[in-house]
Structure 1
């Protein structure tokens, strides 16, 4: 051992560079091999995950579409079946014969047998408190086995979201056996009764495509609706697990990612979203344990490790041979460098070998390069702008630190009576589509130069800052109450339009009395730019000219809402647009937040009134998400109002087209004509009209209610009151003879109806409107 170790140590001392070369090469070889092995293992895992993820995403997307198609077919089939005349009449009748019941039960059985995915079908009659079930026939509602759906229909809040409804149904005649179903409900008299057509779709059969999507063990498939309610799952999930999956699936419409649920191993989660007729969005989620996917790759890892060990031994042999050839040129290089820098010979400096000396030379050169680089980085213009951007965009610094930076970057601004103005680019979504990020930076640089040059002629000191994205900021020594400087800002805005063809909106914030308030002042001024929503593009918004008090949310007056409902029902576009224009004009006086929230409220009211007249789900353009996207894209109230007008026109056309295709349109016109001809008749009623047309009273009432969304009695009262109101305004005749001329036999009845409709007495109405 001693004979071997001492010569080796002597060789190392004699040729330290040679031994270091070997050591470095061996170390580098080990490092490269280790990194290569890790990269191969990681890349193979990543590639395998990507291939499986992409393939699973494709399979899930197809299955989701097919499942959504089956659900949409069920919805269409349910609505088509519910419109069968004999079912509709039976559900709204207050009496029936055994034969009629048998006919309806047979019809329900035919509907159920049309598709094996349909579990059961009910017909609920609220007038007789009975349910005809495709399984059990006629049942009293009090003893019917599905009390859950009756409870939901009686609760107005639950009834609003009854289609499609995932739930668990306890099966009759099977003890405690239960089945997951998706329930589709068609209410015949929404808001008046719970008479309805109910179809239960077997969830397991509907989701058959999803369950057979792949053969991975421990695979879990879950379907959630847009309220994060479980529609289907192959495993039992707690409410916390459902919420966690729902939150994770909300991030994207489709795709896959590695996801670690709480308390579980890491999994590959594949998800896809499908819309069900625009009524609901379903999120399909497939979870596969990562260990199942990567289990077989461990064999590849072990084989790779063995090959890398063999390669390492072969490389080590080659390195030792190559090092001898490499050492001689290095020694010559060291000698040349030492002579060039007039250094001492190696023998005279035993504490330093060749590589140490080369390292010191290269270190000195690197220090020089770093010094030059640091000097370049401290360019005054770039450094000043970087500091100002951080100064405005970050939290407040201490006054002493700000003064030090002001001095370092030679920023000529006072410490008090400062203000911030922001030039914000209008129509920025279109701007980003036209220009790349590089071009946008150049344009903002040009904007800052133009603004600085145009404002420097004033008596105020200022600094312009490129804040990125869609705006630049100007830090001014001018107080926010200076009116002449507001005109100079407007002049800068005109120059930007002239030279760069860029439209901007300007906001000028409040006066700041302390340097530490600068960050807060910048945020307030940026928030102030949002006021262009009501003032429009190209606005100059001054903080001191705006009221600091919060506004009151605007709601459409009840009378205007009633007028709009009537105009929509009659297809009167001009009246609807006039009311909307009145509301939009009112919103212009509100601060941005209240203006935006009031616009959303107005949009929701219009959507509700439209839905009352549209006997199918409104298009997705009427969703609040669509409105939010338009507010961001269009940026101003005026542009959003134009978009709403176009949407309104299109929906009114669709409503008119739907009504023109109604099979009962002619009958409704006859009812309207008879009402107009016999308004003076005190005996005018639903029964008189039914006798005149040869129909049953219940059928006529239900049909008229379904087609017009109001009752015959309400229509007669409304028309009579309209004529009486006109008569009250054009004549001074007593009230009693007037109402007798228009079919009211009782004065008390008339007063009750009039005050309920208008909120005041006839005499008060005459006095108020004659003025």
Structure 2
């Protein structure tokens, strides 16, 4: 019985082994196919991303040149040079030569400008900076530009710049490729301009950029082309392609017909597969196209396909052998033991790795802060021991990243959460950078992270670093919803300058206050800042304080804007100290206001002085000043209003006490309050709606009515007690005030006495109406 049982057991084991082998085979083949497909898709996506980035770089360069051309035209037409060349009818050679020479000096200082023409068809005079000559319309060597001007249409402004091949002056066969900008003067609707300035920009700069990018692509047939909306080539690595119309090419028509700003697609040219990527420039209405053969970037994928297939076969064979020679009864105990050992080993490795990462960050941090000066031998040993990837003995570059809105970051997250978020940011920086540079990420104190990378110092590398920093900013914003600002240093050749360079780059990052959140600051930015400290704008500050005291909020904001404009290119320390000085002047001028009437003003002063280091941008400082200005103006207005009410109440009280005085009038009251008659009268009128004289009359009439109703005094005695002197004037005023004469009023009082009213609540108006 034992043999059959054993045989049955072996057969069952064989079936299980076969089922396991088939399952593993199918699984590995499926995973291999999926891996190959994903790798192919990733390679194509990565290639499209690289192509698009390259085309965006070319588009940005052309847009930048377009902006420079417009700025050049704006500066060229300023002054008298261009008007003299266009409109001066005297043909004064000295004046014209001097104007053309000044215009030529402007051309010389801008190396991207090839030449400038001033065309005055009405004077039949054309001047060219290329050879410094004057021409008539018929003798001018560039007849094409005259034809363009004579056919000028209002829509032509939207086609700038115009790609042209123009002849060289004093040459019968030489030509040069340019982009022309035509600025017409006195353009009347329906008429062609007779005066214009033409600026010719060299196309070589963009062509050289395209040629340099093409040199990186070795395969034949790969190309970068720039076309306009008609399919005409406006730039290419080969000069003979300039102005050639290639609209008949199928892929060109596809790009022109697309309504997408960017895109990519696959096409076939001469029997070979190509990947087409394109980018559009809205301002220029140009298309930037990259054409690259699939073979150029898919050959590594094919190699992966072969290696994957070979690896799968080897893995299957080894798996079959292992499955065949092992049994469950023998393998299970060892398997559990190995798994336990592996888990403990992984845990030990993880602890050691985390500890080493902490030591590496601390050591590099001390190196940047100048707390450590390692010798060459120690440097090499620490680099190997701590796993530092950067070669600290070579050329280096520092990028300081600063977390924007750091105060909000501190308030929103606890210490553990902040540590995890900063680790996440550092991980993004390290992941993005590792694909192009050898680098290390160092977590500094508070809001700073430093990227230390190896550098070659080339211009291309500087451009790649800018692209890299922008990618990091976008990813941190998309994934973690944080904004980063960055400051990039120059390349340093000596490790001895590392600490000094870090300090300079950190100081450069402080100019985030000017550039704003999410900015990228390079050493060229610092060149736009004045090196010498600018004086404090004392005059503007005094005008601002005077307007603030008067409550003129519009003037306050106007002078504050002028104050800010005067500090726009000042050093960071000067700018910050100027704002502190201004706030101190305001605090000193309105100290009593802040202490006595409005706690919010006092809080604003305290907030500014205690948290000045937390302000990251000028906008935050400006918001503090704007709110403070509004609070002060409201408080000053309120105090003025309260003061006016107090004065008016005192005037009323004085009138109610001195109404029997026959000499009581506006002048006596003004003298009593030490105010001018006009000011006191206007103040009382604005507060009560009636003049001082009207109020005196009102009080006296009220007293007359009371005495008539409650006493038996004669009219003369009543007038004596109420301050009246002119009897006839009193009778007139009484009838005007009460609607009845004095005698009628007395009769009404007697009549009411007989009826039991006693005259106390008598209303003469009601009685008269009855």
TM above 0.5: no
- Structure possessing the higher relative contact order (Cα contacts under 8 Å, 6 or more residues apart): 1
TM-score by length of structure 2 reads 0.36
Larger radius of gyration, structure 1 or 2? 2
